[in-house]
Chain A
């Protein structure tokens, strides 16, 4: 048996065993539970949600809000972080302010976002944007700081304006590290989006799973739990692949 296959099978053995145990329990002694359902029923519920479109709608909402928040947060962090990284003085002087604002947990802003935007996409992606902005700021700043000073001298010698300097010299130099930062931000964005939905926003995958629980439908709830885990895994794997590909093509980051 090829080694790759053995690794995969070995990795699946324990989870499958656990699922089988759950199946047995949920069909037997746990029959009337509101919390547990047989995985087979959960799979059916998942199939049904896929068929009637609710699966795709909710997933699209969550992914869309996460992406929008990520885009906004990333763009802002890129601009500010590059400036703070290139200008040592700006970096040092802003350190205190950033360190004081950074630890505010993004979930603390959910009620504020609710107040300002009501429910919906804007409320969600604004919280996501806040959540990804701070770690991205730190990472972008570090990436900008590590741009080879020689390249900056080249930019000065060519008398490039700030926009051209950024686009042609600084940004390409930072690119490998930006992909690493992006990977981290993608993970955060998805988690925060789902969290906002669970806490407040009646849209998306987080709301779907809460609704399933409230309707006392454990099969659907477990289906959503599995689906959320799967989506998270897939998105993270994609981000990792992207990062590794970028690293190979552009030279490895630090």
Chain B
């Protein structure tokens, strides 16, 4: 979805002021004890926890674990999702048999599969990886399916007129045509990957930011909790920004 066009330079200062105002509000609220210190740590305490955690290594390691889990599951999901989505999307026959079933499964929360995964894999890293990959596969699969099913019919005729072999058609026409959809699906999948990775860590007590924030909450360590939330927000932000940048680059031809 198109976000507002990049903010112009003259808006930079006011934008930063808005952010600063929000931080100031946080500072006031925490120092003024508008909300109990147990729930709302001060910004400085949060920053201190962040610094300690990152320098001392534990938070850094945990962030790495979560990111690794997220990426592994996401990559698996993308490979499987694009392959299956392309195969099904290209064939109207396959779509007829499979699409209704896929549409039924689409709204299922990925986490709902976790109990099944626990019965199969037990409470371990494999269980989390399985659910991450499984959950992240659907957005990519469905988006790829849609992309391949909606290749411009005129281009199909052009490919037929040129007697383009089937595999070449997929590579040279189908895939580039579906790319905008595929990339959008991959971006959604990445969001799902992060969420499911975090939930998986919480449930299966796997090392990572999910477990970190859960433990911090249980021990009433609010500043560590907030530090973890900040880091998770940063991971989400960075992942999305990188993917969006890649998307812009790959789809340059859309905006001459």
User: Do A108 and B111 contact each other (CB < 8 Å), given the known contacts A101-B233, A229-B104?
Assistant: no
Q: Which of B8, B106, B222, B240 contacts A115 (CB 8 A)?
A: B222
Q: CB distance A92 to B199 under 8 Å?
A: no
Q: Which of A12, A97, A111 contacts B18 (CB 8 A)?
A: A97
Which of chain A's residues has its CB closest to B200's CB?
A199
Secondary structure dominating the interface of B: helix
Q: CB distance B16 to A96 under 8 Å?
A: yes
Q: A125–B118 Cα gap in the complex (Å)?
A: 26
Binary contact track A8-19/B, C-beta < 8 Å → 1, others 0: 101111110000
Q: B125 → chain A, closest Cβ, in Å? A: 17
Binary contact track B99-127/A, C-beta < 8 Å → 1, others 0: 11101111111011111101110000000
Q: CB distance B107 to A199 under 8 Å?
A: no
Q: A172–B73 Cα gap in the complex (Å)?
A: 43
Stretch at the interface among A20-28, A154-162, A204-212: A204-212
B residues within 8 A CB of A114?
Answer: 217
Q: A241–B105 Cα gap in the complex (Å)?
A: 18
Q: B108 → chain A, closest Cβ, in Å? A: 5
Q: A213–B194 Cα gap in the complex (Å)?
A: 24
Total residues of chain B contacting the partner, CB 8 A: 62
Q: CB distance B119 to A213 under 8 Å?
A: yes
Q: Does B78 interact with chain A (Cβ within 8 Å)? A: no
Q: Which of A10, A91, A198, A235 contacts B111 (CB 8 A)?
A: A198
A residues within 8 A CB of B232?
Answer: 104-105, 108
A residues within 8 A CB of B216?
Answer: 111
Which has the most chain A C-beta neighbours within 10 Å: B22, B39, B195? B195
Q: Does B229 interact with chain A (Cβ within 8 Å)? A: yes
A residues within 8 A CB of B99?
Answer: 11
Q: CB distance A13 to B229 under 8 Å?
A: no
Q: Which of B14, B100, B116 contacts A11 (CB 8 A)?
A: B100
Which positions 1-30 of chain B face chain A at CB distance < 8 Å? 1, 3-4, 7-8, 11, 14-19, 22
Which of chain A's residues has its CB closest to B23's CB?
A97
Q: CB distance A116 to B39 under 8 Å?
A: yes
Which of chain B's residues has its CB closest to A15's CB?
B101
Q: Does A107 interact with chain B (Cβ within 8 Å)? A: yes
Which of chain B's residues has its CB closest to A213's CB?
B115
Q: Does A46 interact with chain B (Cβ within 8 Å)? A: no
Q: A229–B101 Cα gap in the complex (Å)?
A: 11
Q: Does A56 interact with chain B (Cβ within 8 Å)? A: no
Q: Does B80 interact with chain A (Cβ within 8 Å)? A: no
Q: Which of B103, B112, B226, B229 contacts A194 (CB 8 A)?
A: B112
Q: B138 → chain A, closest Cβ, in Å? A: 11
Q: B146 → chain A, closest Cβ, in Å? A: 16
Which of chain B's residues has its CB closest to A116's CB?
B39
Q: A188 → chain B, closest Cβ, in Å? A: 10
Task: Sort A-B residue pairs by CB-CB distance and give the 8 closest, nearest first.
Answer: A11-B100, A111-B217, A103-B236, A213-B115, A35-B119, A232-B107, A104-B233, A96-B15
Q: Which residues of A contact B (CB under 8 A)?
A: 7-8, 10-15, 33-35, 89, 91-97, 99-101, 103-112, 114-116, 138, 187, 190-191, 194-195, 198-200, 206, 209-210, 212-213, 218, 221-222, 225, 228-229, 232-233, 235-236
Known A97-B15, A195-B199, A236-B107; further 10 A-B contacts with Cβ < 8 A: A93-B11, A96-B15, A103-B236, A105-B191, A105-B232, A105-B233, A111-B216, A115-B39, A138-B3, A210-B115
